[in-house]
Structure 1
Amino acid sequence: MAPRTTTLELHKEEMKFSAGHFTIFSATHRENLHGHNFSVYVALTGEVSDDGLLSDYGPLKQAIIQRCKAWNETFFLPAHSKHLRLERDEKGNHVAHFNGEELRFLARDVTVLPVANVSLEELARVFGEELVGDGSAMARDHITGLVVKCASGPGQWASWEWKRDV
């Protein structure tokens, strides 16, 4: 019998977070500070085992919820923007320099992300890369594909996709 594949889709009430940001469009143009109520959707694709399950996705679901909790009520700053320079002041707070402006943030309010810009595209990627890690857990659980979608509101999503070489 040929292997059966399936896709499990996870989009629970707890898979959301509220966060602030601004998008940088050029060296001289950025959005004003604002926030969104983000939501996260994750789909796992893989082979169904003889016991009728893809995998025990409970730990993955908890990892998604924990990441949402960690990002909730924070302000995102991009670590790798070519137009924004970040530094820490003498108190450890964040100072963002953009086009002659100096924006100051309390350290406790900020999450600096390994991104070029704080966009849905980058949030989905960072979320997905953290879930996949080195891929060993995905291989162990027979997961061959993972899609992460982040939304900043109804009807506005970005997706990041990972596939394991089989």
Structure 2
Amino acid sequence: MPSSRFKVRVTKDYLVFSSGHFITFDGDTCERIHGHNYRVAVEVDGPLDVNAYVVDFIALRDMTRAIVDELDHRMLLPADSPLIRVAVEGSNTVARYRDRFWSFPTEECVVLPLVNTTSELLADYIARRLLKEMKARGWADPEAVRVEVEECFGQSAEVELVP
């Protein structure tokens, strides 16, 4: 007798965010500031509940949208980078890498608890936020949560969290 495994996937035209960022790589290289029009897709695996849902599509969509809206039209900066120092100075947030620095109005920045603002770590950040929100709503732990962040057509990163 075959068994069934269930998952839901949410990807909508408005689960997008346009943000600026820059990353460090190869140990000593810091790229130029630039931006992406990111797209987000979310999958949740798990058993069916009393409603025959894995999770409520609408609630999952709205939770994801709230997170991506926080990132939209912002400069994304890493709080935990060993190479980029981020500090609030007056009404601006300043990021420093060696002898380079950038200054942005603080209200236009999101300082994320990440070591780098790569698509991989953005996906992980969104996935962990979704798991936290699911717990806050009293939902059962899913078997897995996957978040894909596409930074441009044909270029994406995905994380899978297994609670």
Q: When the two structures are superposed, what TM-score results if normalisation uses the length of structure 2?
A: 0.89
Task: Report the 3-state secondary structure (helix = DSSP H, G, I; strand = E; otherwise coil) of the residue aligned with 1:133.
Answer: helix
Q: Deviations over 1:54-92 (max 9, x none)?
A: 232322210101111111100011001111111221x23
Unaligned runs of 5+ in 2: none
- In structure 1, what is the equivalent of residue 5 of structure 2? 5
Q: CA–CA distance in 1 between the matches of 2:3 and 2:28?
A: 54
- In structure 1, what is the equivalent of residue 156 of structure 2? 157
> Aligned pair count?
163
Over aligned residue pairs, what C-alpha RMSD do you find? 2.3
Q: CA–CA distance in 2 between the matches of 1:79 and 1:56?
A: 33
Would the aligned equivalents of 1:5 and 1:48 in 2 still touch at CA under 8 Å?
no
Give yes or no for the alignment of 1:19 onto 2:19. yes
- In structure 1, what is the equivalent of residue 94 of structure 2? 95
Q: CA–CA distance in 1 between the matches of 2:107 and 2:137?
A: 33
Letter in 1 for 2:160: E
- In structure 2, what is the equivalent of residue 126 of structure 1? 125
In 2 relative to 1, CA 28–51 (structure 1 residues): closer, same or farther, beyond 3 Å? closer
Q: Deviations over 1:103-144 (max 9, x none)?
A: 111101111011001100110000000000186369734622
- In structure 1, what is the equivalent of residue 116 of structure 2? 117
Would the aligned equivalents of 1:54 and 1:141 in 2 still touch at CA under 8 Å?
no
Query: In the TM superposition, what are the counterparts of 1:75-90 in structure 2 within 5 Å?
Result: 75-89=75-89
Q: Percent identity?
A: 25
- In structure 1, what is the equivalent of residue 67 of structure 2? 67
Query: In the TM superposition, what are the counterparts of 1:137-152 in structure 2 within 5 Å?
Result: 140-141=139-140, 143-152=142-151
Q: When the two structures are superposed, what TM-score results if normalisation uses the length of structure 1?
A: 0.87
Letter in 2 for 1:75: M
Q: CA–CA distance in 1 between the matches of 2:11 and 2:50?
A: 26
Letter in 1 for 2:17: F
Would the aligned equivalents of 1:5 and 1:47 in 2 still touch at CA under 8 Å?
yes
Letter in 1 for 2:147: V
CA displacement at 1:6 relative to structure 2: 0.9
> More displaced, 139-148 or 57-66?
139-148
